[in-house]
């Protein structure tokens, strides 16, 4: 019983870590690329700074939602899933 609970807790923690690892890499690369291209565009045409900046900020905000979704899933995996899984295990073995 204790081994099964340990496996459940370990897998939930591993899943949360993987979720945040992948969920943080995507927005980081995407936002870095967007800022890089925005700096290039402003360097080439300084008069379009306002339009480029507002579009870049909107794109960064949208791509950041992926990281926020990953954070929510990781929090659920850490705090909610272990309790649910352990209760399901106890019900399955009749405790």
pLDDT value at 18 more than 90: yes
Average pLDDT over residues 60-70: 89
Confidence of residue 82 (pLDDT cuts 50, 70, 90): confident
Alpha helices in 45-94 (DSSP H): 49-79, 81-93
Average pLDDT over residues 45-51: 92
* pTM for the full predicted model: 0.75
Instruction: Please state whether 66 falls in left (phi above 0), alpha (psi between -120 and 50) or beta.
Output: alpha
Residue 52 token pair: 């480029």
Average pLDDT over residues 13-31: 90
Distance between CA atoms of residues 95 and 47, nearest Å: 71
pLDDT value at 83 more than 90: no
What CA dihedral angle connects 78, 83, 85 and 87, to 10 degrees? Answer: 180
Phi–psi pair at 77, nearest 5 degrees: -65, -30
Distance between CA atoms of residues 57 and 51, nearest Å: 10
Average pLDDT over residues 78-90: 89
Average pLDDT over residues 36-52: 92
């Amino acid at each position: 019983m204790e081994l099964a609970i340990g496996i459940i807790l370990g897998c939930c923690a591993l899943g949360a870590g993987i979720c945040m690892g992948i969920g943080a890499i995507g927005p980081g690369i995407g936002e870095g690329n967007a800022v890089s291209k925005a700096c290039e565009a402003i360097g080439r045409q300084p008069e379009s700074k306002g339009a480029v900046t507002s579009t870049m900020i909107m794109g960064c905000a949208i791509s950041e939602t992926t990281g926020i979704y990953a954070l929510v899933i990781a929090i659920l995996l850490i705090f909610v899933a272990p309790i649910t899984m352990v209760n399901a295990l106890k019900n399955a073995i009749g405790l």
